[in-house]
Structure 1
Amino acid sequence: MRAGEHLTPPPDSRFAREVAERAADELSGPVHQHSLRCCQWAIAFAEVDGLDVDAEQLWAATMLHDLALGAPDHPDYGCFAALGADHAARLVAAHRGQAQAEVVRAAIAGHFHPAVPAEPVARCLHSAVELDVVGYRLREVDGGLVTATESAHPCAGFGEVFTTAMRTEARLRPHSSAAVLWRAGARVPMALNPLAR
């Protein structure tokens, strides 16, 4: 089997294409690749954990979860995840309605919280981000998928970009989950992540 055959393609819809365009337009190269990897990890965790998820909701949540990573300070938001969640929800609402937009908004808003969420899309996103950033639960994912995903969506440069963003978050929004985790020593598991960096 060729490596690429392990990868799950994105949903085939106008909405999914608009999500892809938004991510490509607004995310830096390394963060865009991180989002694409997270999509594969999230799909894998849905299977591993026996979760029933909407493919388009999961695509939107994984591709748009870092829209506001490293964004300037905003008086109405205490965390980049909450700010990005609202940006993403507006796009989802235009295509899928407010109820589905709320699923994506909540998943993105909580993706950096230490507690694992119960809602399926949120849980898959949370697990995917933890895998890609610190390698958590890596052994639960098929090795062929890991190889294929890293080949298609390289990790090069992500560690440096993400570290810079976390420092920015800690400075601009010191009470956010990201800032608290950074001060608690998140850089150590990031540095020890077995995924290629």
Structure 2
Amino acid sequence: MRLADITVPDTAAARAALELATEYHTPSLLNHVLRSWLWAEAFATVEGLHGIDRELLYVSAVLHDIGVVPAFDNHTLSYEDAGGHVAKALTAGAGWRPERRVRAHEVIVRHNWPQVDPAFDQEGHLLEVATALDISGVRPDILPREFLREVVAAHPRLDLAAEFTACVTDQAMRKPTTAAHRIVERGVAEKLRRNPLESLG
């Protein structure tokens, strides 16, 4: 498994998603969403999942945290729900069918579920396990260590631990009924600090 084996979908939606994420995310958060996509692709390979909508997975991964940035922070909706609506708007502009636009919203919302059954939603499952690895350090031994090193070298973690902790804590305080509150209560700050990806060398 190598980074060069994973290619970005060559579509209008994929290009627009990356452009939006690059414009609005800090370097740390941009690297996080790109790593999350790469981890998702790698988990698909390791778990032997087939029939993945790779464009949907890429767009959802790249936009999954766009709801934490001030320009897209909804005052009542959870950040994953707000981000899902951004994805729906972007993919509408790219000509996606209504039902596929809904899928982008679903995948982004489900990345914050405690668990997503791949039999229920393969792309949602992959984004959930990918972000669990990148944020909480869950299942780091499932993917080859050299691949982990290659991805982190290409997309360094920078100040992700401090930045994401601050973002999600702010979300939890202002929106206590959302998944952000659960994430904070379950110790996301400490999980980020102890994430084994932080010490890859």
TM-score for the superposition, normalised by structure 1: 0.90
CA distance in 2, matches of 1:188, 1:160: 10
- For 1:179, give the aligned amino acid: H
Contact 2:161 2:189 in 1 (8 A): no
Map of 2:79 onto structure 1 = 80
How much has 1:136 moved relative to structure 2? 0.7
Query: 1:8-23 alignment to 2 at 5 Å?
Result: 8-23=6-21
SS where residue 68 of structure 1 aligns?
Answer: helix
**Post-superposition, which runs of at least 4 consecutive aligned residues in structure 1 deviate over 6 A?**
none
CA distance in 2, matches of 1:134, 1:195: 10
RMSD of Structure 2 on Structure 1 (CA) = 1.8
Contact 1:111 1:129 in 2 (8 A): yes
Map of 1:103 onto structure 2 = 103
CA distance in 2, matches of 1:134, 1:180: 13
Map of 1:112 onto structure 2 = 112
Map of 2:189 onto structure 1 = 187
Query: 1:1-197 alignment to 2 at 5 Å?
Result: 5=4, 8-51=6-49, 52-69=51-68, 71=70, 72=73, 74-75=75-76, 77=77, 79-95=78-94, 96-117=96-117, 118-196=120-198
- For 1:47, give the aligned amino acid: T
CA 83–4 in structure 1, closer or farther in 2 if over 3 Å, else same:
closer
**Structure 1: tracts of 5 or more residues without a match:** none
Contact 2:135 2:188 in 1 (8 A): no
Contact 2:169 2:180 in 1 (8 A): no
CA distance in 2, matches of 1:122, 1:4: 22
Contact 2:111 2:131 in 1 (8 A): yes
How much has 1:73 moved relative to structure 2? 5.0
Count of residue pairs the alignment pairs up: 193
Provide Cα deviations, 1:94-150, integer angstroms capped at 9, x if missing partner: 322211111110010121121324301100100110000011111111222211100
Contact 1:93 1:100 in 2 (8 A): no
**Structure 2: tracts of 5 or more residues without a match:** none
CA distance in 2, matches of 1:190, 1:70: 19
Provide Cα deviations, 1:142-167, integer angstroms capped at 9, x if missing partner: 22221110011000111110010121
Contact 1:66 1:81 in 2 (8 A): yes
Over the matched positions of the two proteins, sequence identity in percent amounts to: 26
TM-score for the superposition, normalised by structure 2: 0.89
